[in-house]
Structure 1
Amino acid sequence: MPQTFISFENASIRKFDKIVLHHINWTIRTDQNWAIIGENGSGKTTLTEAVMNRCIVAEGKIRFDFLQSGQFVKDSIELVPRDYSANRILQSAAQYYQQRFNADDAQNSPTVREFLTDQMKPIGTIDENSVRLPPPSCTEEELQEVSKILRISHLLDRKIMTLSNGETRRTLITKSLLKRPKMIILDTPFMGIDADGRKLLHEAINHIAETGIQILLITSPEEIPDCITDIISLKDGFAEISEKKEKKDLSEHKTNTFEIDHTLMEHEPATDFEYAVRMRHVSVSYGQKKVLQDINWEVKRGERWALLGPNGSGKSTLLSLINADNPQSYANNFDLFDRKRGTGESIWDIKSRIGFVSPELHLYFTKRTEVYKAVASGLFNTNGLFQALKPGQRELAESYLKLLKIDHLSEKRFSEISTGEQRLVLLARALVKNPPLLVLDEPCQGLDHSKMEYFKAIVEAVCESLDKTLIFVTHYAEEIPNCVDKVLRLDNGVGEIGTLR
C-alpha cells in the first residue's frame, strides 16, 4: 500500500528576502517518481531545496511523513551535486577552470575510486603516513555494483580532474547512490551530455527506480525518463500537477526577431585578420592518452562553425588551445588571428578578441559578485571585477543585460539567481566587449526552450549584421544557430570537416 512520503500543505517558500514559491499543495507518495519542469527562474531548484528541508517555509507547512524518531531528512534524501564544490578536498584540488588542460595540476587530484570510497588525502600531503583515513565508505562489491549501473567501472583509477563533463556527472550520481538513500534528487542531469550519454543516463535512472529508490528530477519536457510517473510544472512561483501521460509540450514556440542596437558595437576591437584559426597537424596527449590527433582546420574571418562530437572526443581541449588556456599550445603549430602562436603575443592579447562561454567557466566563476559586475568583467577577461569601471562601462554592461532581457537582475548577486539566469549573465559577459570571434561552448546549457530560441536569434543577428566569426559547441542540433553552415566533427580526437546544412 503506497504511503505518503512528503506533503506540501499550502506552503509558500522564502529564499533570501523573497517568496519564490506560492501556496504549493503537493503530495509525494512512495510509489511515485516525479519530474519538475519550468522556465529559468521559476523556482525548480528552490523546490528541491524545500524537499531537502533547506528552505524557510513562510506560510503553510511541509510534512516529512517518512521520518521516524531521531531521523534527519539528509539521511534519507540525497541531492546529487552539480559539481565538486561541496567537497572540501576536491574543491581544493579544483582550483581554476583551465586545470583539466594542465596535465601536472590535474594529476594532483584524487582518483575516482578514492573519491567514491572517501579515501582522499588532503591536496599537498607530503608524508602519506601522517594522514589517517577512515575505513572505506563502501565495499569493493558495492562499488563495482553501482559503478556498473552508471557505466564508470573503467574510470575508477582515473584522476577526477581529467574526466569529461559526462563522466563527471555519472561519477557524482554514483557517489550519491552508494549512500543508499530513500530518494535521490537529480538537478538537470542531462545537461551537457551527448546523445549516447543521455540514453545511457535514461537507462541508469530507470534502473535506479527499479531498485526502489524514489526519483525527483529537474529536467526539460523533452528529457523525461520512462520511470517518471508524475510531473509538477512551475511558472511564476506557482505549481501545476499532472500525470506523465497528460504531459503536453510546455515550450513556447515563437519567432524571435529584433534589430541589433549598433551603438553597442562602437567599442569593437581591431578585426584586421584573414584567419581566426589555422591549425596544422595539431596533436595533444596526456600521458599515453591521445586527446587530439593531427588536426588540420582553418576558420576564416566571418565563417560560422559547429564543433560537434561526443563527450571526451577532444572538443574542450581544442577550444582550450584557441582560448589560450592550454600550455600545449606552444608545442603545436597554429595561428590565431594570422599570428603564429608562441611568437610573443600575450594570453590577454588573444582573450581580448574572443568572447567565450563554457561549462568550466560557469563552474569556477566567482559567485559573490553583483550581476552587472560579472558582465563588466568580460571587458577585462577576468573571473570577477577587480578594478573600478570607467565612465560608461557600467551602462554598457547594463545594455547587454537588457539585450538578453535580464536587466532586472543587475544588482543581485550571481549566487542569488538561478542556474539558467547565471548562464545568460555569462553570455552577456561574452558579448560585452563585442569580440570578432565568439567561442560558445554549450552556451544554451541550462536554458529553457524559449530562452534558448531567443539566444539563438541574438547570435544569428550579431553574426550576420556584424560579420562575426563563430565557433559553436552543443550536443543538441536544435540549439545550433541558423547562420552556422560548417562543421568540424571530432571522435576520439580525430577531426572530420563537413557542411552542416
Structure 2
Amino acid sequence: MIIEDLHLLAGQHQLAIKRWELKAGEHWAIFGHSGSGKSLLGAWLVGDLAAERATLSQQPQRIALVSLEQQQALLERELADDDSEFTDQIDSGHTVLELLEADCSEPRLLERVSQQCDLTDLLKRGFRLLSTGETRRLMLALALIKQPQLLILDEPFAGLDLRHQRQLLALLEQLAKECQLLIISSRDDELPASISHVAVLDEQGLSQQLTIEQWLQHPERQQMEKQAEQQSLAIVQALREFQQTEPVSPLFSITQGSVSYAGETLFSGLNWQIHYGEHWQVRGPNGCGKSTLLNLIFGDHPQCYSNHIEVMGFRRGSGESIWQVKQHIGMVSAALHLQYRVNCSALEVVLSGLYDSIGVYQQASELELEQARLWLQLFGLANLEKHYFKSLSYGQQRLLIIARALVKGPQLLLLDEPCQGLDFLQRNTVLKALELVAKHNLSQLVYVTHHQDDALPSIKHFIDFADGAVHLSKL
C-alpha cells in the first residue's frame, strides 16, 4: 500500500504524509504525541474520514479498525437505544451475540472469532454490562469478522487483564501470517515480535520511518523520560498547594460487602478499610468487580446503599449529601471518560471537578478559573482552553479527566486504568507524578492497572479478586 500527498483535517487535528509505502510482509507501529493525528489515519483508511487530498494505491480491499473512538461511538449508540425510561427494567443493551450477528451471517466464522477473542461465555451478556476489557475484546471481534487484509489496532492492549494481554499477543503473531498489521501505540514494550517498522508522527505529520531496532535506540525516547520527570515535579508541587486537610481515618470501610447482578454474585464477604498513609492496588481479571468496587467507594453504584459502607466519616444512606463525600474524592475511569458526553470546553471539564458535575452549571470564581487554568498548563493543554472536549484526541481528553480529578486536591484518588490512551510522554509524566503523590501521601490512592510496567513502587497494599473471592495483602 502506498500513501502519497495525504492531508487529513478534523477539528484542530491534522495529519500530513508526503509518501509512505507499506510493503508486503511489513508490519508497522505508529508512535506520536496526543493530537498528532494518529487516529485520523485509521479513520481515513476505513472510510470514516474524508481526506482534503490524497493519493492511495495498492490498498487492500478489506481494512478493519479497532479504536477507543469506535468503542465510544458504540456506547453512544447503545445509550441512544436505551429504553429504561419507558420500562420498569434496566436496559443492558444489545447482547454480544446480537452485535456480532449484525455484522456476520456465517455461524462458523462467528464461532471462531468468539473463541479467538474469548467471548464464548459472554455472548448472552448485554453490552452495558461488559467490563472495559470485555468491551475491548468485543471491538476486536467486530474487526476480525470482516476478515481484514489490513488490521489497524489503536492501543489494542488498553483495558485487557494480563491473561488476555498474553492471548492477544499470541493472536497478533498468528494474524501477522494472514494479514498486515498497523498498530498505534504508546507502549513499545507491548508490540508483537512481528512488528518490523515504526512510523513517527509529530506536528508536521509523518516525520520518520524507522526499523524497530532503530526506534528502540532512538535518543528521543530518553529525552521524553527527562521531560516527564520535570513535568511530574511541577504537578506534585501544585497538588501540595491545593491539598486538603489531613483526612479522617479510615477514609473508607465496607463490612461484609457484596455485589450481585440478576442472581449472579460478583463478589461477597468483603471486609476492607482504607487508612491514611495506605495506598491500594486492585488486581484481578476482566469482569471480576474492580471497577465496581471503585464505584461503590465513589457512590456511583446503586448497591452502595445496600451495603454497610462508611466513606469520609459518613455512613452511606444516612442522609449525607453527594457533595459532602465527593468533594474529598477524585475519580478517573474509562466509564467516566466515555460518559462525559456534555460538549463543554477543556477549561470547563477541569472546572467541573471542583463541583463534581458533568459540565459546569454555575458561575466560576476568578480563583477557581485560575486554579483550573493552572492544571491545564501543567498538563500542556493551556492552548486548548476553549476547545470543545469532543474535538480533542482521546489522549487529550484523558488528560483533562485526570486534571479534573486532581484540581481540588482530593484526599482519596480512585484511578481505574488512568493511563489508557495516553502517549509515551503523557503516560510517563502521569506515572511519575502518581508515584510522588503516593510516596509523600499527598492523596491516598486506590489504583487499577493491568500493565506491570505501570505499577507504583509506593503502593504496598493489594486487594485481589479471584472467582468471587477477595483477598487482602501487603508487602
Aligned pair partner of 2:100 in 116, 119, 122 = 116
Q: Residues 91 and 31 from structure 1, CA distance in 2 versus in 1: closer, same or farther, beyond 3 angstroms?
A: farther
2:216 matched residue in structure 1: 248
2:55 matched residue in structure 1: 62
Q: Residues 293 and 51 from structure 1, CA distance in 2 versus in 1: closer, same or farther, beyond 3 angstroms?
A: same
Deviation, 1:207, is 2.9
Letter in 2 for 1:149: Q
Are the counterparts in 2 of residues 15 and 56 from structure 1 also a CA contact under 8 Å? Answer: no
Q: Residues 271 and 232 from structure 1, CA distance in 2 versus in 1: closer, same or farther, beyond 3 angstroms?
A: same
Equivalent residue of 1:193, what SS? Answer: coil
Equivalent residue of 2:386, what SS? Answer: coil
Q: Residues 471 and 359 from structure 1, CA distance in 2 versus in 1: closer, same or farther, beyond 3 angstroms?
A: same
Deviation, 1:90, is 2.0
Q: Residues 440 and 66 from structure 1, CA distance in 2 versus in 1: closer, same or farther, beyond 3 angstroms?
A: closer
Gaps of 5+ in 2: none
Equivalent residue of 1:85, what SS? Answer: helix
Whichever of the two has the greater Rg, that structure is 1
- Quick check: which one's helix share is greater? 2
* C-alpha distance in structure 1 between counterparts of 2:293 and 2:361, whole Å: 29
1:90 matched residue in structure 2: 78
Deviation, 1:261, is 7.8
Letter in 2 for 1:142: L
Equivalent residue of 2:430, what SS? Answer: helix
Deviation, 1:171, is 1.1
Are the counterparts in 2 of residues 30 and 214 from structure 1 also a CA contact under 8 Å? Answer: yes
* C-alpha distance in structure 2 between counterparts of 1:218 and 1:263, whole Å: 32
Question: Map of 1:273-352 to 2, 5 A cutoff?
Answer: 273-352=248-327
2:180 matched residue in structure 1: 214
* C-alpha distance in structure 2 between counterparts of 1:63 and 1:454, whole Å: 37
Are the counterparts in 2 of residues 93 and 108 from structure 1 also a CA contact under 8 Å? Answer: no
* C-alpha distance in structure 2 between counterparts of 1:167 and 1:353, whole Å: 31
* C-alpha distance in structure 2 between counterparts of 1:170 and 1:287, whole Å: 23
* C-alpha distance in structure 2 between counterparts of 1:260 and 1:185, whole Å: 34
* C-alpha distance in structure 2 between counterparts of 1:193 and 1:249, whole Å: 28
C-alpha distance after superposition, 1:54-82 (max 9, x if no partner): 556556x3213347xxxxxxx73222243
Aligned pair partner of 2:132 in 153, 156, 165 = 165
Letter in 1 for 2:94: P
1:29 aligned onto 2:52: no
1:187 aligned onto 2:151: no
Identity fraction in percent: 30
Letter in 2 for 1:8: I
Question: Map of 1:255-274 to 2, 5 A cutoff?
Answer: 255-256=229-230, 258=233, 271=246, 273-274=248-249
Deviation, 1:444, is 1.4
Q: Residues 259 and 87 from structure 1, CA distance in 2 versus in 1: closer, same or farther, beyond 3 angstroms?
A: closer
Q: Compute the TM-score of the two structures, normalised by the length of structure 1.
A: 0.84
* C-alpha distance in structure 2 between counterparts of 1:331 and 1:392, whole Å: 39
Question: Map of 1:38-49 to 2, 5 A cutoff?
Answer: 38-49=32-43
C-alpha distance after superposition, 1:116-140 (max 9, x if no partner): 112xxxxxxxxxxxxxxxxx84122
Equivalent residue of 1:395, what SS? Answer: helix
Deviation, 1:413, is 1.6
* C-alpha distance in structure 2 between counterparts of 1:276 and 1:288, whole Å: 30
1:11 aligned onto 2:6: yes
1:454 aligned onto 2:420: no
Letter in 2 for 1:40: S
Deviation, 1:190, is 0.4
Deviation, 1:377, is 0.8
1:204 matched residue in structure 2: 171
Q: Residues 368 and 62 from structure 1, CA distance in 2 versus in 1: closer, same or farther, beyond 3 angstroms?
A: farther
Q: Compute the TM-score of the two structures, normalised by the length of structure 2.
A: 0.88
Q: Residues 87 and 343 from structure 1, CA distance in 2 versus in 1: closer, same or farther, beyond 3 angstroms?
A: closer
* C-alpha distance in structure 2 between counterparts of 1:161 and 1:439, whole Å: 21
Are the counterparts in 2 of residues 303 and 469 from structure 1 also a CA contact under 8 Å? Answer: yes
* C-alpha distance in structure 1 between counterparts of 2:236 and 2:450, whole Å: 30
Deviation, 1:476, is 2.0
* C-alpha distance in structure 1 between counterparts of 2:383 and 2:436, whole Å: 23
Deviation, 1:430, is 0.3
Question: Map of 1:290-439 to 2, 5 A cutoff?
Answer: 290-366=265-341, 368-439=343-414
* C-alpha distance in structure 1 between counterparts of 2:395 and 2:345, whole Å: 16
Deviation, 1:357, is 0.4
C-alpha distance after superposition, 1:253-305 (max 9, x if no partner): 33446356877666665655221111211111112422122111111123222
* C-alpha distance in structure 1 between counterparts of 2:9 and 2:15, whole Å: 7
